[in-house]
Structure 1
Amino acid sequence: MELVIINNHPWAVGLRWLPPAKRRFTGHKALLAQAQEMDDAFDVSARCHGKQGVQFGFGAAGESWTRYAPVPALCPCLDVPPDFLGLFSLRSTEGIEFWWLHLRIGGAVAEFGDQVFYSEQEARDALTLMKKIAGLQAETGDSPMASAMYLEDRVRLTPLEKWALGKGHLSNLKKLASHSTVRRVTGLAAILTVILGIAFCWSYYADRAAREAARQARQERIQRKADLENHPEKFFPMAWQEKPLATDFASACLPVMMDLPLSSNGWELQSAVCNGKKVNLEWKHASGANFIRLPDGARLDEKDLRTARSSIALMPVESRRPDGSGTDHSMLLNREESLGLLAEITQATATRLNPPKFKAQKNRTIDKVKVVAPWHEADWELSGIPDLLMEPGPGPDGMGLFPMLAEIPGLTVESITFNNGWSMKGSIYARH
Structure 2
Amino acid sequence: MRLVKLNARHWAAGLQWFQVSAKSKRDMNAVRSEGMKLKGEPPDMVAFRPRQYGFGASGGLAGYTTANPLAGGIGLPSSSFLGVFRLEDVHGESFWWVCAVRQGLISGQGDMVCASKEEADAQVAELTDLLGHFDDQAFCATWEESRAWLIPLLNYRRQARLRPLLGDAGFRRRLFALGAAISLVLVCGIGLRTYWNHQAEQQALQISRQQIEERAQRQADLLAHPERHFPMPWATARPVGAAARVCLESMLSLPLSAGGWQLTKAQCDGRTLTAFWDFSPGADYRLLPPGAVLETSTRARTSVRLDSGPDERRPDGDFRSLACKTDVSRHFYQLTANMGAHLSRFDFEKPATAVVDKVEIVAPWVRGSWELSAVPDALALDGSLAAALDIPGLVLSGMEYGNGWTLKGEVYATPE
Q: Classify the TM-score, shorter chain.
A: 0.5 to 0.7
- Residue 372 (structure 1) aligns with: 362
**Could you tell me whether the CA contact under 8 Å between 1:359 and 1:377 is conserved in 2?**
yes
Find the counterpart in structure 2 of residue 403 from structure 1: 387
1:272 match: 266
Separation in 1, partners of 2:338, 2:270: 26
User: Equivalences for 1:135-146 in 2 at 5 Å?
Assistant: none
Q: How many Å separate the matches in 2 of 1:305 and 1:201?
A: 91
1:125-177 Cα offsets, whole Å, 9 max, x none, are: xxxxxxxxxxxxxxxxxxxxxxxxxxxxxxxxxxxxxxxxxxxxxxxxxxxxx
What one-letter code is carried by the residue in structure 2 that aligns with 1:416? M
Task: Please state how far the C-alpha of 1:336 moved relative to its aligned partner.
Answer: 0.8
Aligned residue among 201, 205, 220 for 2:214: 220
Q: Tell me, in whole angstroms, the C-alpha distance in 1 between the residues paired with 2:300 and 2:381.
A: 28
Give the corresponding residue for 2:330.
340
SS at match of 1:330: helix
What letter is aligned with 2:267? V
Distance 1:330 1:224 in 2: 22
Match of 2:344 in 1: 354
Q: Superposition pairs for residues 27-426 of structure 1, below 5 Å? A: 195-301=189-295, 304-317=296-309, 318-324=311-317, 327=318, 329-354=319-344, 356-391=346-381, 393=383, 400-406=384-390, 408-426=391-409
Q: CA deviation at 1:312?
A: 2.1
Distance (whole Å) between structure 1 residues aligned to residue 289 and residue 186 of structure 2: 96
1:365: how far off? 1.7
User: How many Å separate the matches in 1 of 2:271 and 2:191?
Assistant: 75
* In structure 1, distance between residues paired with 2:221 and 2:381: 45
Q: CA deviation at 1:193?
A: 10
Q: Residues of 1 paired with 2:222 and 2:382: CA distance?
A: 41
Give 1:13-32 correspondences, 5 Å limit: none
Cα pair 1:268 1:283 within 8 Å, conserved: yes
- The percentage of aligned residue pairs carrying the same residue is 37
- Kindly provide the amino acid, as one letter, of the partner of residue 386 in structure 2: F
Aligned partner of 2:138 in structure 1 is none
**Residue 225 of structure 1 aligns to which amino acid in structure 2?**
Q
Q: Could you tell me how far apart the structure 2 residues matched to 1:416 and 1:261 are? A: 17
Contact 1:267/1:285, CA 8 A, preserved across alignment: yes
| CA distance in 2: counterparts of 1:193 and 1:380, whole angstroms | 78
Q: Which amino acid aligns with 2:344?
A: N
Given the superposition, is the C-alpha separation of residues 316 and 211 from structure 1 closer, same or farther in structure 2, using an over 3 Å criterion? farther
Q: TM-score with structure 2 length normalisation?
A: 0.53
**1:50 match:** none
CA distance in 2, matches of 1:305, 1:220: 68
Structure 1 residue 410 displacement after superposition: 0.6
Query: Secondary structure at 2:298's aligned position in 1?
Result: strand
Q: Deviations over 1:378-398 (max 9, x none)?
A: 1101111111112364xxxxx
Deviation at 1:192, TM superposition (A): 8.5
Cα-to-partner distance string for 1:19-60 (whole Å, 9 max, x where unaligned):
xxxxxxxxxxxxxxxxxxxxxxxxxxxxxxxxxxxxxxxxxx
For the 8 Å contact 1:247–1:392, the answer to whether it is kept is no
Distance 1:336 1:355, change over 3 A: farther
1:226 partner letter = A
Give 3-state SS (helix, strand or coil) of 1:315's partner.
coil
Q: What CA distance in whole angstroms lies between the structure 2 residues aligned with 1:193 and 1:378?
A: 72
**Unmatched tracts of structure 2, length 5 or more:** 1-184
Change (3 A) 1:201 1:306: same
Give the TM-score, by structure 1 length.
Answer: 0.51
Secondary structure of the structure 2 residue equivalent to 1:356: strand
What is the SS of the residue equivalent to 1:312?
Answer: strand
Structure 1 residue 420, shift from structure 2 partner: 2.0
Q: Which amino acid aligns with 1:339?
A: S
Structure 1 residues 205 and 281 mapped into 2: Cα distance closer, same or farther (>3 Å)?
same
Contact 1:248 1:392 in 2 (8 A): no
Contact persistence 1:278–1:311 (CA under 8 A): yes
CA distance 1:305–1:209, shift in 2 (3 Å): farther
What amino acid does structure 2 have at the position aligned with 1:283? W
SS in structure 1 at match of 2:281: coil
Q: Is the 8 A contact 1:349 1:401 kept in 2?
A: no
**Partners of 2:409 and 2:299 in 1: CA distance:** 27
- Which range is displaced more, 422-431 or 366-375? 366-375
Q: Aligned equivalents of 2:286 and 2:186: distance in 1?
A: 100
CA distance, structure 1, for counterparts of residue 287 and residue 200 of structure 2:
84
Task: Determine the C-alpha separation between the residues in 1 that align with 2:337 and 2:188.
Answer: 92
Q: State which structure, 1 or 2, has the greater radius of gyration over its C-alpha atoms.
A: 1
RMSD: 1.9
Cα separation, 2, equivalents of 1:282 and 1:268:
8
In structure 2, give the amino acid aligned to 1:425: K
